[in-house]
Structure 1
Amino acid sequence: MQAESLPQHLGDASSQGLVLSPEHQAALQVSLELVRRNYKFNRVYLWGKVLGLGGDYFIVQGVDVDELKSRKTLYSFNCMDWKLLPPATDEMIARSMLIKGRFTGDPSHQYKKTVLRANNEDQTDQDTDIKVKEEERLTATIELINREAAIIPRGAFIMTPRGEVHKNRSFEGLSVTEAGKLKSYLHFTKPITLKKKSVLMQANLEESIDFLNSLEDDELKELKQVFWSLQFERGNKLVILRNLLWPGFTFFHVPDTTQFGFIYMGLGEKNMDFPFMI
């Protein structure tokens, strides 16, 4: 959620139990402007909070000209002092996902995991120790949540002929009818491969808007209606989408307005047992 609209957007997400203390809200409103100036960001977003045993990680993300490619992530324990996280790599994500259990709240903490790996020379399995620093696990978890859960309303962003992603100034919000459809929401992450559309669907697509995959393109098609929970609140004045694979992730949009955003407040653990719970 955008820093300038923090109090209002936090109010939209508060019905899901995602709240910040008045002290943290006040600190964020001051410090996020300083973050924007110090790091020369064009815009700063509050991403959320990862709960730890010894302390909670408050997460913000800053962007430059391109809203998608130039995103950088910072964390803080007190909402005042911020530290830049390194970019996550696929290898870092793969190693971090082997670690289970709560975050400790100590960025320097090192996890140790013993895994079995095949030895191609003598065709035997050997124990291998993998070490992962909590700071690496944190940035990997944030990146994975962004890839799998971060979403935007269709039309909220456009891609220019130069390939840059910008906010769409002509976006006026989804109608109440469109806001109730999963196809009206796009994954806000660069697609590895853009899913193919039927001839009928292609006729209704706009190249500058439909450059991302929609929720209807999710691989687990038989489960998409389940792990995306969509509901209206305040009559039809607010739509809420929750990702049940990442408990604590909430997206909100006020139909017929430009107000939308998402926030994550959770343990930083994916619900791997979800397919067996339905």
Structure 2
Amino acid sequence: MDSSTLRYSLDLVSGNGYTVSGEQRAALHTSLQLLKKNYRYTRVLFWGKVLGLKQDYYIAQGKGEDEMKDTKFLYSFNCMEWHLLPPADARMVGDVSKAARGRFVGDPSHEYVQSRLQGEEEDAPAIKVTEEKRLAVTVHLIDEEASVVPRGAFTRTPHGRVQANRSFEGLSHADAEKLDNFLHFAKPKKLKKKFILELADLDPAIDFLDSLSDHIPNGQWSLQLENASSVCVIRSLLWLGMTFYHVPMTPQHGYVYMGDGCKNLDLPFML
């Protein structure tokens, strides 16, 4: 969620029980503005909070000219001092999936060591990853699999650059009740598999992302109207703690994650 509307936005997604204190909101409002100026980002968003046993990680997201490609993540413990997270590549994702287990500790230097499986050679090198790398991979995966935007909020230029749509005035109340009108803000996977007749009804300038209704398994998103039907709230059941909001008939929208950073692997059995 955008740092300029942080205090207002956090109240709209507080239904999951997690929030930040008034002091932390004030600190975030100031530090994120300084972050935007110092790093010369186009926008700075408060991405969320990953809960740790000792300390919690507060995550910010810096955006460049291309909202999808030019993205950096930063973390903080006190909402004032920020540190860049390393970019998550395929090798790092693989190492973290093998070595990291359980809850986050809250110490970036904490080291996870891969448990040796039965039948493996004793002299096989063990995989070691720091919690900072685990945090980078977790944030990357959550944003890759559960980020949401309303249809029309972003446009793609003829050169392929994704930018915020300044003329976006929000979905109507009727459209906000349909999951088809909310898109997954990541590289599309299902869009290219649609039939030609389905693609004919789409606007390539705004319909360049996958719809949430196309996600598998079906039912991993919970859409509800809250605050006397004045705000649309979508929650991810795959990454518990990821919450998206949109106020119909206004450009106000955003998402925030507040959870333990663990994926709900039991979801297919719960549907």
CA RMSD of aligned residues (A): 1.6
Q: What does residue 159 of structure 1 align with?
A: 156
2:47 partner letter: W
Q: Which stretches in structure 2 are left out of the alignment for 5+ residues?
A: none
Cα 1:59/1:160, change in 2 over 3 Å = same
**Residue 264 of structure 1 aligns to a residue in which SS?**
strand
1:165-220: per-residue Cα shift (whole Å, max 9, x none)? 10111211111121111111111112356442234422220111111111122232
Cα 1:255/1:115, change in 2 over 3 Å = farther
Q: What does residue 203 of structure 1 align with?
A: 200
Q: What does residue 137 of structure 1 align with?
A: 134
Whether the 8 Å CA contact 2:189–2:210 is kept in 1: the answer is: no
Of residues 228, 233, 238 in structure 2, which corresponds to 1:235?
A: 228
2:264 partner letter: N
1:219-243: per-residue Cα shift (whole Å, max 9, x none)? 32xxx22x21111112321111110
1:21 and 2:42 equivalent? Answer: no
Of residues 141, 144, 147 in structure 2, which corresponds to 1:147?
A: 144
**Residue 10 of structure 1 aligns to a residue in which SS?**
helix
Whether the 8 Å CA contact 1:195–1:217 is kept in 2: the answer is: no
Q: What does residue 112 of structure 1 align with?
A: 113
Identity %: 51
Of residues 221, 245, 249 in structure 2, which corresponds to 1:256?
A: 249
**Residue 208 of structure 1 aligns to a residue in which SS?**
coil
**Residue 262 of structure 1 aligns to a residue in which SS?**
strand
Q: Deviation of residue 88 (structure 1)? A: 0.6
1:130 partner letter: I
Q: What does residue 239 of structure 2 align with?
A: 246
1:114-168: per-residue Cα shift (whole Å, max 9, x none)? 2549xxxxxx854652211100000000000011100100110000011111011
2:166 & 2:198 partners in 1: Cα distance? 25
- Which deviates more from structure 2 when the two are superposed, residues 50-59 or residues 95-104? 95-104
- Which deviates more from structure 2 when the two are superposed, residues 201-210 or residues 151-160? 201-210
**Residue 145 of structure 2 aligns to a residue in which SS?**
helix
1:35 and 2:35 equivalent? Answer: yes
2:92 & 2:150 partners in 1: Cα distance? 30
1:157 & 1:71 partners in 2: Cα distance? 15
Whether the 8 Å CA contact 2:156–2:163 is kept in 1: the answer is: yes
1:144 partner letter: L
Aligned length: 268
2:237 & 2:254 partners in 1: Cα distance? 17
TM-score by length of 1: 0.92
Q: What does residue 121 of structure 1 align with?
A: none
1:38-87: per-residue Cα shift (whole Å, max 9, x none)? 11111100000000011000000011111111100000000000001111
1:87-127: per-residue Cα shift (whole Å, max 9, x none)? 1112212221232211010001110112549xxxxxx8546
Alignment of structure 1 residues 169-248 onto 2, 5 Å: 169-191=166-188, 194-220=191-217, 224-225=218-219, 227-248=220-241
Cα 1:115/1:213, change in 2 over 3 Å = farther
